[in-house]
């Protein structure tokens, strides 16, 4: 975690730092038109740099990265981090590996897990319902799913 952490919850940190930035922008606006005009051009370059960096990062990691994989069960991402923090064991992304996450000690399991664990081919892909996916490619699929003509060329299952 960065050194700028004030609260334990990351969302409270976002709220605090966002409020600070909003207060700073408010001070700039209250200072008047001359001050706003002096900040306008540098901020335009900052925005352009951010946009360029986002596109550059997307192009560099277009096919994703092995370090950015996550476990999916059907349509749902699986939170293995919480389980790892409690048990200090990272479960495999298989039906048997995820069993401790979804089944209690007395043998009762989550209904969605029971329904999905034996599915060999998930809808719209040639892969099982419980699978590893590369995170960046999935985000591209979500963004480009708005354009149906691009959906087939970019949203290729992993």
Tell me what pLDDT residue 19 has.
93
8 A C-beta contact, residue 136 and residue 150:
no
Tell me what pLDDT residue 52 has.
92
Tell me what pLDDT residue 124 has.
66
Tell me what pLDDT residue 66 has.
60
Q: How many residues does the chain have?
A: 158
Nearest to 157, CA basis, from 130, 136, 137: 137
Nearest to 125, CA basis, from 72, 77, 69, 89: 72
Tell me what pLDDT residue 63 has.
67
What percent of the chain clears pLDDT 90, i.e. is strictly above it?
A: 7
Is residue 139 predicted with pLDDT exceeding 90?
Answer: no
Tell me what pLDDT residue 94 has.
86
Tell me what pLDDT residue 11 has.
81
Count how many Cα atoms sit within 13 Å of the Cα of residue 134 in the half-sphere of its side chain: 15
Task: Note the pLDDT tens digit of each residue in 17-52.
Answer: 889 989 988 898 898 888 889 888 998 998 999 899
What percent of the chain clears pLDDT 70, i.e. is strictly above it?
A: 73
Task: Note the pLDDT tens digit of each residue in 99-111.
Answer: 888 888 888 998 8
Tell me what pLDDT residue 54 has.
85
Tell me what pLDDT residue 150 has.
38
- Give the mean pLDDT of 94-122: 85
């Amino acid at each position: 975690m960065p050194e700028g952490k004030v609260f334990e919850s990351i969302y409270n940190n976002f709220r605090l730092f966002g409020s600070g930035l909003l207060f700073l922008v408010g001070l700039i606006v209250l200072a008047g038109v001359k001050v706003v005009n002096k900040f306008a051009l540098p901020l335009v370059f900052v925005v352009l740099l951010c946009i360029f960096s986002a596109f550059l990062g997307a192009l560099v990691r277009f096919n994703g990265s092995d370090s950015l994989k996550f476990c999916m069960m059907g349509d749902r991402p699986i939170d293995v981090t919480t389980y790892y923090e409690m048990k200090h064991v990272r479960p495999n992304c298989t039906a048997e590996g995820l069993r401790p996450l979804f089944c209690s000690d007395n043998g009762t399991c989550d209904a969605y897990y029971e329904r999905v664990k034996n599915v060999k081919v998930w809808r719209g892909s040639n892969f099982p319902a419980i699978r590893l996916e590369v995170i960046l490619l999935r985000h591209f699929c979500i963004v480009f799913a708005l354009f149906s003509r691009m959906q087939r060329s970019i949203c290729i299952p992993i």
